């Protein structure tokens, strides 16, 4: 597999990169569907929100990728606008997928060669075999999932596809009737009040851990500021939320805060890292394509999380921040709090210009055993390699300059740091953290 | 014309730059006076607020450039302090002007050689001819103006100097008596209430469009957060403002918001882009020199503009943000909203260190057909070339690294992107947007 | 002395660096104890909060460096975790100290070679001689201190170790009984009300200036927003604070503001620069090691200081901001206000990745006579050289690229700018500012 970007790297960076691409990939956060991890039709690649939203931003009507259309039409809809986004890094992932996994011989995807690509990438008849083939060709070792709390967690090998309990619905949508209905069904218990809710969430944690879950994750809006919860005070708001009654704004915040705090308590009890993905506001642009409607308010600070970090000293908090300009603050908080870890480069911050600066600051200022390098956030396996290659290239450049160049380190020593960042740290913190609370190497 | 900075560029960037400097310049935002576009006396260059404010910041008393002084004295006042700012990029523009347009042979402007420079640059006898000479030597094709709403828009060729309706006074100073007086005079109508105001603004738009205007522009303070206006609710505050009555703070905001919304409605009706220049606070330093008193509060977010972007899906919003650290958010909003365009690099963000990072992120993450590369914001024609050269150099570097280096693109393909960014996009969005609402290439 | 990092610099930068390291060092802000400026035991180096907090963040229990332990044990406690932070720039200072001052021959500090290092660095028998030796080997010329208001300021040569009046306690802790007790004792006067407080502070200024003090300094939390004080209105809150009575929140702010304003008035009267160090919040992480508990809220703006800058036009305000993303705003405020100076790169912003960007923007956009390059913030003399070398390397790179490369300046001219930034400006503003109010060269 010949990765993109290799040729323009300076020598030392190129050699570091060459080593890194041989390593297995440990991907601690994705949205892969373990029942169908690879794309059976190339529309599952082209339909990734990064392409539909950029094509839409560039002029494509949202209707061109409406769900009711057939996949070929949706693919054609996006491809018509690809020439407008072909200078983006997101497009470079797409081309790397086409070339790497489908031996696509052209250097652009156009309406004229789309049908060739669709044919080459058609794996509707060979699904599971294709999944295994992509897994092997990508050098994947461990891929974390994002699982709804009522996911039955059955039908796949959870040592490869590791479950992660996603709790947004519990924290942010407790008052919506279907949330409680789903919860009651998932745990097969009545849930009528705070005590019932706590019991139900305990049941969820037990099931997830029994099925190999190694993380809990939540995305939180910029106005969320967790405080040490008084569960006592939250009992009424939570009961009202559970029963679909109207909550005042302060009650709603009380309930939200209490549930969040409860989840952190369970993370402590079950020795699970709690991934905090801070910043998104949902549906800021309702007229957008699916997955392309969320944005953020950049006026956010980790100072709002101080009580949480202090109270749960034994819980590891891998943190992703959405607004690129918030990343320097994450360096400072990871520098001081032993349980705060800077995790990857997320969504609107997942752009080389932003990653390069953030990564350099993290390498220069933070303990090397705390850097959680990268995760793909992928919906399909094929995206993992091009995204990791983008990151590995930047990591190679930073380490070549900082470690080999400025410090005069031997190649092998720089490579060891790369391995910590890409593999050892995520593995230690996510895969083996259960029995230890303090970080180590 | 031998542009500054050429020699230190890496080879591929140098070649890109060499091509770009041959292109005509499309400058979508300036403060040029079309009746006297070039400087007749070099003090009109030295008196640019970038020099007077930096010289003042470096120690020059504000009185040294008082308006009542004669031009030679004011020029001498600034030059006395130029050695304190000669490492700045702003100074490099100045020197490039002296060398390029006046064959100034020295590499510094000092009290000792000022009179030579003033003599070389004296065009008081040959004004209009000098205007044409600078226009031709600069390779200018289209220069947008900034016109007060009561500008008669007469006396120049609006195909070269394109009018742009500046609406700050209407939005922010409606309560000041002279605003309404000027408006009444400009449209020759009574303006007593909301209905009258709407009719008057409609008349302004008609006149501006008839005279070739291709944009509406406004600069907005950081605390402005437009909401979907209830013009009904704003009727009383607007009537009070028109009649110079005292407004409560909420009434004042209601009026301001309603007028702004009204202007966006007219932009939609007349198919005009609405330039939003977000951030400045006027007169933060009242003791400063003219033009050098404004600053900002960095705590600002485009999230405050969400209702506007959603409501006016058919209006193009070219956006400039003032605080350098706000620029990453603009990348995200331009990525999602089809009608949000990142426009140039403005004022306190118009510094190579900031431009380089912002430009790289825009190129990497945004549709190439949405990038509105640069505008000079110039008050005199002579500034357009050195400012554009600064930008073209940075653009050449970014494209050489990102497109030719990392992607392995052919030179011509990278050059095509440069042309989109510098010319095609601004031309499409500003000059030909009238009949289309969706962006295109 | 062979400085770290030299070898990887490009040629022109390397030559600039070689010159700079021969210059004497003017360090305008440290926490050196003038009675024992150099470390007598290497634990005084290893115990610097940068190492204890990073080691703690990397997994070391805070108890490993408890104050009641003996120095050897504390040193051993930190060293056990050094391999986890050996890729940081902070570690590079440590290694440079060991190699430069103690001829430590190894390239890592480990439990295995710690005792060798402790032996080499043991100067408990030769304290004052060692102080002089480090001073000379470091090429120090002037080192500013941080002195409590009740420091007797006796027992050292204040031409080398220049006093600086630190006023945090007066501004932020006036209501704590020991503050007033210390103040009464320091000035040997009763202090019962605003008038008494003003007289006492006047006495402090007199004593400090008589003892050669050249600056006043304060660190301010992000929510502090000084307003033109009404000392009249503050009389009651200040009297209540002095007498340990409970203050309402608004009274507390009134008192804090009034004392701060009073201090600025004295800075004006005594022609002293007022160092503002903006951002820290104390004790955000109470479980941390000593000195490693403070963080910040990034939502801060210099706009909050506008009244101060305007009112005290004759006072120089050297400003450090803590949150790295706030630094671009400091460029703009230094650009406009003659009395605002960007000073060094502080604490969480003192990381090469942040310095490089900030420094480039300052050099490109600000008068060169206003740049206050760097200060070490050191607690022991040994830290001054490695920290300044880090900065000098970055300055060399920026000037090689910006001045020599892009501008085509002669080497000597670029070097002159470096000298302004490192020596002439700090010397002028701090050491000789008394008799002048306007900046100069």
Residue B342 pLDDT grade (very low, low, confident, very high; cuts 50, 70, 90): very high
A19: left (phi over 0), alpha (psi -120 to 50) or beta: alpha
Q: Of all helices (H) and strands (E), which one includes residue C216? A: strand C215-220
- For residue range A21-44, what is the model confidence (pLDDT) as tens digits? 999 999 999 999 999 999 999 999
CA dist C358 to B123, B273, C111, C277, C362, Å?
A: 40, 34, 37, 16, 6
CB C16 within 8 A of CB C400: yes
Q: How confident is the model at residue A432 (pLDDT cuts 50, 70, 90)?
A: low
Rounded Cα distance between C429 and C29, Å, is 13
The CA distance from A237 to A255, in Å, is 6
Q: Report helix, strand or coil for B172.
A: helix
The pLDDT value recorded for residue A5 is 61
Burial code (b: 16+ CB inside 10 Å, e: under 16) for B184-209 equals: bebbeeebeebebbbebbbebbebbb
Q: Determine the pLDDT at residue A300.
A: 97
Q: Count Cα neighbours of B199 within 13 Å in the Cβ-side half-sphere.
A: 11
- Whether residue A281 lies within 8 A of chain B, CB to CB, comes out as yes
Separation in Å, CA C156 to CA A107, C12, C34 = 72, 40, 6
Which member of B310, B329, B370 has the closest CB to residue A58? B370
Q: Is the pLDDT of residue B1 over 50?
A: no
Backbone angles phi, psi at A362, to 5 degrees: -65, -45
Comparing C-alpha atoms, which of A174, A113, A143 is closest to residue A31?
A: A143
The reply to whether residue B348 touches residue C331, judged by beta carbons under 8 angstroms, is yes
Q: Pull the structure tokens for residue B172.
A: 């922010």
| Nearest alpha carbon to residue B221 among B168, B275, B274 | B168
C325 contacts on A by Cβ (under 8 Å): 325-326, 328-329
Q: What is chain B's Cα-based Rg?
A: 22
pLDDT above 60: residue B440: no
Beta strand ranges found along C304-360 (DSSP E): 317-321, 340-342
CB-based burial label for A137 (10 Å; 0-12, 13-18, 19+): middle
C441 band by pLDDT with thresholds 50, 70 and 90:
very low
> CB of C7 within 8 Å of any CB in chain A?
yes
Neighbours of A67 (CB within 10 A): 7
Encode pLDDT of A360-405 as tens digits.
999 999 999 999 999 999 999 999 999 999 999 999 999 999 999 9
Q: How would you write A25-85 as a 3-class SS string? A: EEECCCCCCCCCCCCCCCHHHHCCHHHHHHHHHCCCCHHHHCCCCCHHHHHHHHHCCHHHC
CB contact, 8 Å: A225 with chain C? no
Whether residue A422 contacts residue A398, with contact meaning beta carbons closer than 8 Å, is answered with no
Residue in C closest to B292 by C-alpha? C336
DSSP state of C355: H
Chain C residue with the nearest C-alpha to that of A437: C59
- Give the bridge partners for C318, in sequence order: C341
Residue C437: predicted pLDDT: 39
Interchain pair C61, A335: CB under 8 A: no
Partner-chain contact B296 C329, CB within 8 Å: yes
Residue C1 pLDDT > 80 = no
Mutant choice from A96, A298, A350, A355 vs B, greatest count of B C-beta within 10 A: A298
Listed by number, the residues of chain C in 134-163 with a beta carbon closer than 8 Å to a beta carbon of chain A are none
pLDDT of residue C56: 98
Q: Check residue A4 and give its pLDDT.
A: 54
Q: Give the lowest-confidence range in A219-233, C112-126, C373-387.
A: A219-233
Residue B432: pLDDT band by 50, 70, 90 thresholds? low
DSSP calls for A179-227: HHHHHHHHHTS---SHHHHHHHHHHHHHHHHHTT--EEEEEE-TT----
Vertex C209: Cα angle to C206 and C210 (nearest 5): 80
Question: Which range among A434-438, B421-425, C108-112 shows the weakest confidence by mean pLDDT?
Answer: A434-438
pLDDT digit string, tens, across residues A123-136: 999 889 999 999 99
Give me the half-sphere count of Cα atoms (radius 13 Å) on the Cβ side of residue A112.
4
pLDDT confidence of residue B228:
87
Q: Measured between CB atoms, does C310 come within 8 Å of chain B?
A: yes
Beta-bridged to residue C317, according to DSSP, are C340
Please, which residues have CB within 8 angstroms of residue B197's CB and are 6 or more apart in sequence?
B183, B191, B238, B242, B259, B262
Give per-residue pLDDT as tens, C328-354: 999 999 999 999 999 999 999 999 999
Provide the β-strand partners of residue A147: A165
pLDDT attached to residue B5: 61
pLDDT higher than 60, residue A435: no
B43: closest CA of chain C, how far (Å): 20
The tokens for A144 are: 């974390």
Q: What percent of chain A has pLDDT over 90?
A: 93
Please give the residue of chain B at the shortest CA–CA distance from A57. B338
Res A437: pLDDT: 39
Mean confidence (pLDDT) of chain A: 95
Average pLDDT of the segment spanning A198-214? 97
| pLDDT tier at A302, thresholds 50, 70, 90 | very high
Chain B: residue whose CA lies nearest to C356: B353
The C-alpha of C339 sits at a distance from chain B's nearest C-alpha, in angstroms, of 8
Mean pLDDT confidence for A274-288:
98
Whether chain C has a CB inside 8 Å of the CB on A440: the answer is yes
SS3 assignment, position C142: strand
DSSP summary character for residue B343: B
What lies within 8 Å, CB to CB, of B70 at 6+ separation is none
pLDDT for C5: 61
State whether C438 and B61 contact (CB < 8 Å). yes
Interface check C314 vs B, CB under 8 A: no
Chain B interface test: which of C335, C353, C421, C425 (most B C-beta within 10 Å): C335
Q: What is the pLDDT of residue C4?
A: 54
Asked if B59 lies within 8 A of C360 by C-beta distance, the reply is no
Asked whether the beta carbons of C98 and C121 are under 8 A apart, the reply is yes
Residues of A in contact with C294 (CB under 8 A): 336
For chain A, say whether B438 makes contact (Cβ under 8 Å): yes
Write down the pLDDT at residue B4.
54
**Long-range pairs for B188-193: beta carbons < 8 A, 24 or more residues apart:** B191/B242, B192/B239, B192/B242, B192/B243, B193/B235, B193/B238, B193/B239, B193/B242
pLDDT > 70: percent of chain C: 96
Residue burial A316-348, b: 16+ Cβ < 10 Å; e: rest: bbbbbbbbbbbbbbbbbbbbbbbbbbbbbbbbb
Q: Please name the residues between 74 and 113 in chain A that touch chain B, using a CB distance below 8 Å.
A: 83-90, 92
Maximum separation of any 2 CA atoms in chain A, in Å: 65
Distance (Å, whole) CA A170 – CA A203: 14
- Between residues 390 and 429 of chain A, which touch chain C (CB distance below 8 Å)? 401-403, 405-408, 417
Query: What per-residue confidence (pLDDT) applies to A52?
Result: 98
> Quick check: B236 and B251 in contact, CB under 8 A?
yes
Contact B1, B397 (CB under 8 A): no
Q: Answer whether B408 sits within 8 Å of A89, measured CB to CB.
A: no
Asked if the model's pLDDT at residue B403 lies above 90, the reply is yes
CB nearest A87 (choices: B326, B338, B403): B403
Is B25 in a helix, a strand, or coil?
Answer: strand
Helix (H, G, I), strand (E, B) or coil at B122: coil
Mean pLDDT of B35-57: 98
- Pairing label, strands C317-321, C340-342: parallel
pLDDT in tens, C167-198: 999 999 999 999 999 999 999 999 999 999 99
C292 to chain A: closest CA residue = A336
State the pLDDT at residue C127: 83
**Is the pLDDT confidence value at A214 over 90?**
yes
In this predicted structure, the answer to whether residue B434 has a pLDDT above a threshold of 70 is no
Residues of C in contact with A303 (CB under 8 A): 281, 284, 295-298
Beta bridge pairs of residue B372: B343
Q: Tell me if C408 sits within 8 A of C369, measured CB to CB.
A: no
Closest-CA residue in chain C for B328?
Answer: C325
């Amino acid at each position: 597999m010949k990765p993109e970007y290799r040729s323009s790297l300076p020598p030392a960076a190129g050699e570091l990169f060459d080593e890194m691409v041989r390593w297995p990939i440990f991907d601690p956060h994705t949205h892969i569907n373990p029942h169908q991890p690879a794309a059976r039709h190339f529309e599952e690649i082209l339909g990734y929100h990064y392409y539909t939203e950029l094509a839409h931003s560039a002029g494509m009507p949202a209707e061109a990728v409406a769900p009711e259309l057939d996949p070929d039409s949706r693919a054609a809809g996006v491809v018509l606008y690809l020439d407008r986004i072909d200078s983006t890094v997101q497009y470079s992932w797409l081309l790397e997928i086409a070339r790497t996994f489908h031996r696509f011989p052209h250097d652009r995807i156009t309406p004229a060669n789309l049908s060739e690509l669709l044919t080459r990438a058609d794996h509707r008849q060979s699904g599971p075999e294709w999944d295994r083939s992509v897994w092997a060709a990508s050098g994947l070792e461990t891929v974390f999932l994002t699982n709804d709390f009522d996911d039955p967690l059955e039908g796949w090998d959870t040592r490869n596809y590791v479950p992660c309990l996603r709790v947004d619905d519990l924290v942010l949508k407790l008052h919506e009737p279907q949330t409680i209905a789903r919860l009651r069904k998932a745990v097969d218990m009545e849930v009528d009040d705070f005590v019932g809710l706590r019991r139900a969430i305990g049941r969820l944690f037990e099931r997830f851990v029994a099925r190999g879950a190694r993380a809990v994750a939540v995305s939180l809006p910029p106005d969320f500021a967790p405080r040490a919860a008084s569960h006592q005070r939250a009992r009424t708001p939570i009961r009202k939320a559970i029963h679909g009654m109207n909550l005042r704004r302060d009650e709603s915040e009380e309930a939200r805060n209490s549930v969040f705090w409860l989840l952190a308590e369970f993370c402590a009890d079950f020795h699970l890292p709690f991934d905090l993905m801070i910043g998104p506001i949902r549906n800021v642009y309702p007229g957008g394509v699916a997955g392309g409607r969320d944005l953020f308010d950049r006026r956010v600070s980790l100072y709002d999380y101080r009580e949480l970090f202090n109270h749960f000293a034994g819980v590891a908090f891998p943190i992703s921040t959405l607004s690129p300009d918030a990343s320097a603050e994450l360096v400072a908080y990871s520098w001081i709090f032993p349980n705060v870890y800077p995790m990857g480069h997320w969504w609107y911050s997942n752009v080389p210009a932003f990653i390069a600066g953030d990564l350099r600051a993290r390498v220069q200022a933070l303990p090397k055993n705390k850097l959680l390098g990268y995760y793909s956030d992928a919906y399909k396996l094929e995206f993992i390699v091009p995204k990791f290659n983008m990151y590995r290239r930047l990591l190679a450049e930073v380490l070549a300059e900082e470690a080999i160049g400025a410090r005069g380190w031997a190649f092998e020593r720089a490579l060891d740091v790369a391995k910590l960042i890409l593999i050892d740290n995520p593995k230690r913190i996510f895969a083996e953290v259960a029995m230890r609370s303090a970080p180590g190497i």
